[in-house]
């Protein structure tokens, strides 16, 4: 019998390799072994639903907590189990501050990357992470003609505000404007990224909700992560696992520190502590 009933995996910096697409053979084998032992598998990622990596979906994951827990999907039935929209009043505070400080940002909404027309027109000239570039350059990303119109409509479906690869000074100005308000979750994303969500919207809250929905004791769940948006998840799980490449606050929140993501740290945890 496996030592845990469910495993929650951050994706970037945890499960996939440095290219953000590929799962190593050892990680793949370990995840499949856990699944064969009856352990449920769940993503817990800052990514939105549309950019989950196919290499990981092919492993037969059961659930996906996306946009840091704003949406929770049953990947077998296709059912959306939980979706918590961004409070429109908070969106009207945060979005203009973001737009005034960076020239490119993303609105994760209804599982997709929603762009304003001004941001959409920068897709082909702005350096973007590879998984974003692949999706956005398909030309299928939804577009809001203006931020003002989207906010006036109530910011429908908004899950989180995502800033990609921006200058540290820009992020510092946004953080300085939003953090004192005390109503937002502000966390680092992959690379030089920054994420904004309503207070209490964390991967940890998503883990607690899904375990409650499934009737799984939190003591029987483990969660693996490496970044600032993983801290609350590692605290919520019965066993919080920091990757060897994790930041200091992640390692401090963890019960176990495994090897780096590019040295099969996820597989090593599964082999030693799950099976």
At 137, the pLDDT band (50, 70, 90 cuts) reads: low
Please report whether residue 177 resides in a domain.
yes
pLDDT at 271 over 90: yes
Please check whether residues 157 and 252 belong to one and the same domain.
no
Please check whether residues 190 and 109 belong to one and the same domain.
yes
Please report whether residue 1 resides in a domain.
no
Show Cβ contacts of residue 209 under 8 Å, excluding neighbours closer than 6 positions. Answer: 69, 72, 82
- How far is 257 from 195, CA to CA, in rounded Å? 24
139, 163, 198 — which closes off a domain?
198
Per-residue tokens: 120: 């959409």
The pLDDT tens digits for 31-82 are 999 999 999 999 999 999 988 988 889 999 999 999 999 999 999 999 999 9
Cα-to-chain-centroid distance, residue 199: 16
- How far is 153 from 172, CA to CA, in rounded Å? 29
Average pLDDT over residues 113-139: 79
Domain boundaries, position 243? 6-82+201-274
Residue 67, domain CATH: 3.40.50.1000
Please check whether residues 60 and 147 belong to one and the same domain.
no
The pLDDT tens digits for 215-248 are 999 999 999 999 989 999 999 999 999 999 998 9
Please check whether residues 187 and 114 belong to one and the same domain.
yes
Q: How many domains does the chain have?
A: 2
Please check whether residues 35 and 97 belong to one and the same domain.
no
Give which of 76, 49, 45 is closest to 60, Cα–Cα.
Answer: 76
State the residue for tokens 């973007």: 128
Please check whether residues 142 and 128 belong to one and the same domain.
yes
Beta bridge partners of 107: 114, 161
Return the pLDDT at 139: 63
- How far is 14 from 259, CA to CA, in rounded Å? 10
The pLDDT tens digits for 174-213 are 999 999 999 999 987 665 679 999 999 999 999 999 999 9
Please report whether residue 75 resides in a domain.
yes
152, 171, 198 — which closes off a domain?
198
180, 198, 216 — which closes off a domain?
198
Please check whether residues 120 and 55 belong to one and the same domain.
no
pLDDT at 259 over 80: yes
């Amino acid at each position: 019998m496996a030592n845990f009933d469910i495993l929650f995996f951050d994706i970037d910096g945890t499960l996939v390799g440095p290219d953000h697409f590929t799962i190593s053979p050892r990680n793949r084998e370990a995840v499949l072994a856990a699944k064969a032992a009856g352990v449920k598998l769940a993503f817990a990622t800052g990514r939105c639903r549309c950019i989950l990596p196919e290499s990981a979906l092919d492993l037969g994951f059961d659930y996906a907590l996306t946009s840091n827990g704003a949406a929770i999907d049953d990947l077998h039935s296709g059912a959306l189990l939980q979706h918590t929209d961004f409070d429109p009043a908070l969106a009207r505070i945060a979005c203009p501050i973001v737009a005034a400080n960076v020239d490119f940002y993303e609105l994760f909404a209804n599982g997709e990357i929603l762009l304003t027309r001004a941001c959409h027109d920068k897709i082909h000239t702005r350096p973007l992470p590879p998984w974003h570039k692949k999706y956005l350059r398909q030309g299928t990303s939804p577009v809001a003609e203006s931020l003002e119109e989207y906010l006036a409509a109530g910011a429908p479906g908004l899950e989180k505000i995502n800033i990609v690869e921006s200058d540290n000074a820009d992020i510092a100005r946004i953080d300085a404007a939003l953090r004192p308000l005390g109503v937002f979750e502000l966390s680092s994303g992959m690379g030089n990224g920054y994420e904004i969500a309503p207070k209490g919207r964390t991967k940890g809250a998503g883990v607690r909700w899904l375990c409650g929905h499934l009737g799984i004791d939190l003591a029987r769940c483990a969660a693996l992560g490496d970044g600032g948006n993983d801290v609350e998840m590692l605290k919520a799980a019965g066993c919080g696992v920091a990757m060897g490449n994790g930041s200091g606050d992640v390692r401090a929140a963890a019960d176990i520190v495994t090897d780096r993501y590019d040295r099969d740290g996820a597989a090593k945890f599964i082999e030693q502590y799950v099976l």
